[in-house]
Amino acid sequence: MTPRELDHYADVQLLPGKAAIAKLVVLLAVLAVLPFVVPGYRIFTLNYMAVFVIVGLGLSILVGDTGQVSLGHAGFMAIGAYTSVLAMTELGAPFLIALPAAGLVSAFFGFLLGLPALRLDGPYLAIATLGFGLAVTLIIGHGSFFGGHMGLVVPDAYLGPIPLSGDISHYFLIVGIAIVLALAARNLSVTRVGRAFRAIRDSPIAAETMGVDVAYYKTLSFTVSAAFAGIAGSLLALMNGFISPGVFSVTLSLMFLAMVVFGGLGSIAGAVLGSLVMGYVNLRMDAVQEIPIFGPMLQNFSDAYMSPSGLPNVGWVLTGSMIMLTIMFEPRGLYGVWLRIEDGVRWLRRRGASDGPAAGTG
């Protein structure tokens, strides 16, 4: 790790320093203007990426901070999506109630699943969540209450008197929630709870000796992470207008895991970055051939050596290779690459500074 100032009070400040505030203001300004600058059909892509960011933030707490693997986050997302849609259609709840309800119900299922799996050392959470993800899609696919394989149509949602229709209003809602959750995730990770998570990741036994209740904090981390996925599911339902079990497959869970690994385990910035990249990859996978230059090349290769219809699978090959290469060469992911660049720049500067006077005297 790069050496950092170790100051707890600087850490827990929501906005440390003027430079950070300036950066945040610039970021917010860019995000506010963005939907009016990009072409209209791209706003949907942005929304999709923002939903991925929310899942990524939650998964980063679980995988990056606590060191546990979930292969069932698509299942939690499905629970969130179906909860919010059914709350609106069956109970007539407003969206403002349905959205947090999605998070809470997901969190509850996360708690139920995490409690037995996380009492134990070893890979049990990964195995249990793999089964969980498959079981969720099986149950919603066969229950008529859940619309079966045909899925459910999402009703019109209102935020008080404001109708949430159209990509631009979705954009401000989803990106706004993503920013709030990013700040929440950051605050969680720099306080006592986050330190307990990382202590468990680095050594469960050492953490226990220091008085950390390992099972409690592991379950907490998993529950929070499931809540994030539930909220993301509710927002995905809203922006899509339609949900079905096929959306929340096991491969989507693997995609989620891939994005936090690729972005950089244990850093919020990395999780956001990785989620943006993978969200884009996931959305464009079905139309790889439309990507300029590479697309036609891949299409030709595919026609000559592979099957023409299987081309979208390139996305999985890419995703799988990306996370394998990340683990092999830079386990801290994109964030690690960024740290290296920073270190490099600092080193160059320092060398420049010490060379300066020497050159002056000579």
Partner 1 sequence: MLLQIVASGLSSGSIYALVALALVITYKTTGVPNFAQGEMAMFSAFVAYVLIVDYNVGFVVAFGAALVFAFVLGIGFEGVFLRRTKNPTHLNLIIMTLGFQLALFGLAGWRWGADQRRFPFPVSANEVVHFGNVTVSTLSLATISIALVLMAAVFAFFRFTKLGVAMQATQQDAMAARINGVPARAVVALTFGISSVIGAVAALLTAPLITLDPTLMWDPLLKGFAAAVLGGMNTPIGAVLGGYLLGIVENLFGAYVSVEFKSAVAFLIIVIVLWFRPVGLFGRKPPRKV
Q: Applying CB under 8 A, does 134 fall inside the site for partner 1?
A: yes
Angle at 255 between CA 96 and CA 75, to 5 degrees: 50
Taking CB under 8 A as the criterion, the residue among 53, 200, 311, 334 binding partner 1 is 311
Residue number with CB closer to partner 1 (37 or 304): 304
Taking CB under 8 A as the criterion, the residue among 24, 31, 250, 283 binding partner 1 is 250
Residue 85 — φ and ψ, nearest 5°? -65, -45
User: CA dist 303 to 4, 291, 299, Å?
Assistant: 52, 16, 6
What's CA 26's distance to the chain center, in Å?
22
Instruction: Give the interface segment with partner 1, choosing from 76-84, 96-104, 123-131, 239-247 (CB under 8 A).
Output: 123-131
Q: Applying CB under 8 A, does 331 fall inside the site for partner 1?
A: yes
Q: Applying CB under 8 A, does 287 fall inside the site for partner 1?
A: no
Q: Using CB under 8 A, which residues numbered 99 to 118 contact partner 1?
A: 113, 116-117
Taking CB under 8 A as the criterion, the residue among 2, 144, 307, 361 binding partner 1 is 307
Instruction: Give the interface segment with partner 1, choosing from 49-57, 66-74, 213-221, 233-241 (CB under 8 A).
Output: 66-74
Q: Applying CB under 8 A, does 297 fall inside the site for partner 1?
A: no
Question: Where are any strands of DSSP class E within 206-328?
Answer: 242-243
Distance of alpha carbon 318 from alpha carbon 337, whole angstroms? 19
Q: Applying CB under 8 A, does 67 fall inside the site for partner 1?
A: yes
Distance of alpha carbon 328 from alpha carbon 90, whole angstroms? 49
Q: Applying CB under 8 A, does 69 fall inside the site for partner 1?
A: yes
Distance of alpha carbon 13 from alpha carbon 116, whole angstroms? 35
Taking CB under 8 A as the criterion, the residue among 17, 296, 320, 352 binding partner 1 is 320
Q: Are 201 and 41 in contact (CB under 8 A)?
A: no
Taking CB under 8 A as the criterion, the residue among 324, 341, 345, 348 binding partner 1 is 324
Three-class SS of residue 116? helix
Please measure the distance between the N-terminal and C-terminal CA atoms of the chain and give it in whole angstroms: 37
With a CB cutoff of 8 Å and minimum separation 6, the contacts of 256 are 52, 55, 56, 59, 73, 74, 229
Q: How far is the CB of 263 from partner 1 (least distance, A)?
A: 13
Taking CB under 8 A as the criterion, the residue among 37, 39, 92, 121 binding partner 1 is 121
Residue number with CB closer to partner 1 (89 or 251): 251
Q: How far is the CB of 142 from partner 1 (least distance, A)?
A: 5
Taking CB under 8 A as the criterion, the residue among 126, 159, 164, 337 binding partner 1 is 126
Residue number with CB closer to partner 1 (35 or 56): 56
Residue 147 — φ and ψ, nearest 5°? 80, 0
- Torsional sign, CA 285, 290, 293, 299: positive
What's CA 110's distance to the chain center, in Å?
16
Taking CB under 8 A as the criterion, the residue among 138, 168, 180, 341 binding partner 1 is 138
Three-class SS of residue 241? coil
Distance of alpha carbon 288 from alpha carbon 359, whole angstroms? 54
Instruction: Give the interface segment with partner 1, choosing from 82-90, 166-174, 187-195, 252-260 (CB under 8 A).
Output: 252-260
Q: Applying CB under 8 A, does 247 fall inside the site for partner 1?
A: no
Distance of alpha carbon 124 from alpha carbon 120, whole angstroms? 7
Distance of alpha carbon 327 from alpha carbon 258, whole angstroms? 11
Q: Using CB under 8 A, which residues numbered 143 to 202 contact partner 1?
A: 201
Residue number with CB closer to partner 1 (94 or 131): 131
Distance of alpha carbon 285 from alpha carbon 23, whole angstroms? 32
Residue 242 — φ and ψ, nearest 5°? -160, 140
Residue number with CB closer to partner 1 (195 or 201): 201
Residue number with CB closer to partner 1 (317 or 358): 317
Q: Applying CB under 8 A, does 10 fall inside the site for partner 1?
A: no
Which residues lie near partner 1 (CB under 8 A)? 63, 67, 69, 71, 113, 116-117, 119-124, 126-128, 130-132, 134-135, 138-139, 142, 201, 203, 205-206, 250-251, 254, 257-258, 261, 265, 302, 306-307, 309-324, 327-331
